[in-house]
Each structure stands twice: as structure tokens, then as C-alpha cells.
């Protein structure tokens, strides 16, 4: 295998295969980020006279071509090349000669991979921002559409008080606001420029780190070179924690949908083509999508812990342990994109049972409503509570299905615009910090 740092002796083949592992597979998705980082770096090198203007022009033109190849899907890592950084430099040297070897001046693979990962995670966090907002918008639309349709509310798994589909959909919309805040925090963590920290202790070259920060669109830089290297693992964990927050929401939503779809509940349904059947029971409509969403969410929620375990007890500086972060986090990123897509697709086709409370099964949902009516008429709360309780025990309670809730966040006042305002305020923070 070709290595740019070879000192004349080849690594043992078993050692080489073990240490490279799956890195080449995951490195491919960093190709565009690696090239963009190199483009900014050589502009900076030219500005401090470590590259001639003509050399920078030649290298920039070739990197632009290479970026186009990546975007067209025509870029590959050669079988004998260890990582994306080596591949880009080898290609440049093949195409433009010796000046291709100059692009590594003032850099280490440590700050190079950090830059790649931060650029990549910044892009991914912005994709998740947009996907979560799309799901949020749908949930708010469903909340308003079904705000007048009552739904049993439960505590301890027991029938409790009247809820509504408006309240249910709206709850998940507002919960996504908290998840968006987690995505924003992760975006802040990764949106800092580590380029120029080299192996973690800076460089004797007069690097212009402000210039590369601006060229790469970072919000600011990791100033301290050691701190920049210490952000490896923390950046990945920040993104993983944000994904785990979203996954927690999708997990609970999936569990609700699996339960509400059962004939025992019958609150919601989906078109036949979005469910699966049984091999022996012709009546079955299984919620396989929601079950897999629920299980996938559980797996994503484990990722921050796995990252924490991998990075715990490491002293500062680079360690090869960090290489395994990619194979922990990158599949979780792919899975979360698909999960958000499927949740949106399923909810876009949801069918709501608008006559759930017609059944006498749900009469006792309205005991609290009756207690409150009596309190409003002047009966002390404890007396009203006791009166209704005795009526229930003696089979004398008759449900009055009128629901008169007016306070913010209740069945009668979903506060949909207020929840949207909360979300919009977080979204504005992304742009104001750019």
C-alpha cells in the first residue's frame, strides 16, 4: 500500500490491513470536503509565499476538476492508497508534477482529517435541520387539521382524560423544537476551523488561519491548537447526541403508532400498501415500518454512548482510536436520514378514526371534566371529587362529552403559532451565526 510518509520500510501486511480497517470505505464520503479543504489551504499558502501564484493557479484548477469528478461519482480510492488525503495528493502529483507535493506544507493528517470531518458534519447537520423542519411542518399541519377530533389520553397505560389528535400531533411537533436545539448546538461545535493546528501543536510556518476560516465558511476557529485536536471525538459525539435526541422523538412516535394501529385501539390506520401481512393470518396489517423505526431509533440512541466509551481515558492529542469513530457515526447518519424520510412518508398517509369516543368504553375519560364543572359551580374540589368517585363506583356516572379547555397548550388552544415561533427562533440562529 502506498503511503506518503514511508521512510523506506513497508508495514507488515497484517498490521497494515488491521490499522487501515474500513477507513477507506468511509473516507470516500469525505472526498469533496478534503478537496475543499485543500483548495482553501493552497490559497492561504500562496498568500504567505509558500506557493508561487502560478503554482496555486495550477493546483486550484486541478482540484476544481477533481471536485467535479467527485460530484459526478467518478472518484475512487486506488486499492493501494490508504486514505483520502493520500489519494488527492497522489492524483495531483500525477497530473501536475512535483508541485502537487507542496499542498501538505503546514498541515498534518491530524488537522486535515479534522477539517474534513467538521466540514462533513456541518453539511450533515444542516441536512438534518431541513429534514426535521419538514417533519415539524407536517406535524403542525396534521395538528391543525385534526384539532377537533378527540382522542383518549392515558397515564400508567390506563384511560385518563380527553386528549385530541391535534394535541398528539402538536406534541411531537413541539418536541422536535427541542431536537432542533440539539442539532443547533452540534452545528456550533463542528462549525469551527481546526486547519492549521497541524498535529496538535501548530506550525512554524506563518499560517493565516483567519483566511482559511473565512474561505471554508466556518463560523469561527478552534483557536488553541491542542484544543482543536481535542475536538476529535467531541464533534462526533455532539452530532450523535443530536441524532439521539431526534431518535428519541421518533421512537416514542413509532411506539404510539404501533399501539394505535392495533384493532384493540383502532385510532389510526394506513393504506394496505404501507403495511405488511402475515404468512398464515389473512386479516393482519402489521406496522413493520413503525416497528423498524422504533428499533432503529433505539440503535441510534446508543451511538453517543459508544462514542463516549471509545474516547474515554484518552490523554490529549491524536490517537488511532479515533479512526473507529467513522464506522460508529457514519452509518447512524445514513440511518437517521432514512428514518426521517420514512416517518414523513408514513404520516403523510395516516388515516385518523374520528369517532373513537362514540364508544361507552371511554365514558370515564370525562370524570375530571365533571369534577371541574361542579367546582366552577361552587362545589369545593374535594367534595366534587368524592361525589363523582361515588357515582363511578355505583355505576351511576353519566359522561358529558363536552370539553371546554381554553388555556394555552390545551385541547382548545393548541398554540400552534407559538410553537412555530419557537422553532423559527432556533432556525434564525443558524443563519445569524454563519
Residues annotated catalytic, as ranges: 156, 278
Candidates 55, 78, 81; CA nearest to 1 is: 81
Give the separation between CA 241 and CA 186, rounded to whole angstroms: 8
158 φ, ψ to 5°?
A: -110, 150
Residue 61 CB neighbour total at 10 angstroms: 12
Give the separation between CA 266 and CA 294, rounded to whole angstroms: 19
Residue 115 CB neighbour total at 10 angstroms: 28
* Three-state DSSP class for residue 12: coil
Integer CA distances (angstroms), 274 to 299, 336, 340, in order: 23, 20, 16
Structure-block grid coordinates of residue 2: 502506498
Provide the 8-state DSSP code for 133.
H
Structure-block grid coordinates of residue 389: 368517585
- Residue 432's H or E segment, with its range, is helix 416-432
160 φ, ψ to 5°?
A: -120, -75
* Three-state DSSP class for residue 79: coil
Give the separation between CA 195 and CA 209, rounded to whole angstroms: 7
Amino acid at each position: 500500500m502506498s503511503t506518503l510518509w514511508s521512510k523506506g520500510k513497508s508495514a507488515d501486511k497484517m498490521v497494515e490491513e488491521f490499522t487501515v480497517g474500513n477507513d477507506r470505505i468511509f473516507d470516500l464520503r469525505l472526498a469533496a470536503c478534503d478537496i475543499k479543504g485543500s483548495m482553501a489551504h493552497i490559497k492561504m499558502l500562496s498568500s504567505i509565499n509558500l506557493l508561487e501564484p502560478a503554482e496555486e493557479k495550477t493546483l486550484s484548477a486541478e482540484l476544481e476538476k477533481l471536485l467535479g469528478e467527485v460530484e459526478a461519482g467518478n472518484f475512487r480510492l486506488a486499492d493501494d492508497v490508504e486514505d483520502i488525503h493520500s489519494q488527492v495528493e497522489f492524483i495531483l502529483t500525477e497530473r501536475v508534477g512535483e508541485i502537487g507535493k507542496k499542498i501538505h506544507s503546514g498541515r498534518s493528517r491530524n488537522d486535515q482529517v479534522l477539517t474534513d470531518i467538521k466540514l462533513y458534519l456541518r453539511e450533515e447537520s444542516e441536512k438534518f435541520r431541513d429534514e426535521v423542519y419538514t417533519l415539524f411542518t407536517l406535524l403542525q399541519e396534521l395538528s391543525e387539521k385534526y384539532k377537533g377530533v378527540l382522542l383518549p389520553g392515558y397515564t400508567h397505560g390506563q384511560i385518563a382524560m380527553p386528549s385530541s389528535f391535534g394535541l398528539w400531533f402538536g406534541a411531537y411537533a413541539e418536541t422536535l423544537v427541542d431536537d432542533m436545539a440539539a442539532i443547533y448546538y452540534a452545528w456550533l461545535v463542528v462549525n469551527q476551523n481546526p486547519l492549521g493546528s497541524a498535529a496538535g501543536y501548530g506550525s512554524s510556518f506563518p499560517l493565516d488561519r483567519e483566511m482559511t476560516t473565512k474561505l471554508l465558511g466556518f463560523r469561527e476557529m478552534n483557536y488553541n491548537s491542542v484544543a482543536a485536536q481535542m475536538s476529535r471525538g467531541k464533534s462526533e459525539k455532539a452530532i450523535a447526541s443530536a441524532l439521539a435526541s431526534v431518535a428519541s422523538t421518533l421512537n416514542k412516535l413509532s411506539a404510539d403508532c404501533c399501539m394505535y394501529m392495533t384493532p384493540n385501539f383502532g385510532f389510526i390506520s394506513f393504506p394496505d400498501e404501507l403495511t405488511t401481512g402475515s404468512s398464515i393470518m389473512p386479516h393482519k396489517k402489521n406496522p413493520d415500518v413503525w416497528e423498524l423505526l422504533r428499533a432503529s431509533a433505539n440503535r441510534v440512541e446508543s451511538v453517543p454512548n459508544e462514542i463516549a466509551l471509545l474516547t474515554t481515558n484518552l490523554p490529549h492529542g491524536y490517537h488511532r482510536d479515533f479512526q473507529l469513530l467513522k464506522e460508529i457515526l457514519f452509518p447512524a447518519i445514513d440511518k437517521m436520514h432514512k428514518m426521517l424520510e420514512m416517518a414523513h412518508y408514513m404520516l403523510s398517509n395516516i388515516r385518523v378514526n374520528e369517532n373513537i369516543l362514540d364508544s361507552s368504553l371511554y365514558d370515564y375519560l370525562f370524570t375530571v371534566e365533571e369534577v371541574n364543572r361542579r367546582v366552577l359551580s361552587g362545589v369545593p374540589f374535594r367534595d366534587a371529587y368524592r361525589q363523582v368517585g361515588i357515582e363511578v363506583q355505583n355505576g351511576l356516572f353519566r359522561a358529558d362529552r363536552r370539553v371546554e379547555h381554553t388555556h394555552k397548550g390545551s385541547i382548545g388552544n393548541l398554540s400552534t403559532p407559538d410553537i412555530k415561533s419557537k422553532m423559527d427562533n432556533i432556525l434564525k440562529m443558524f443563519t445569524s451565526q454563519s
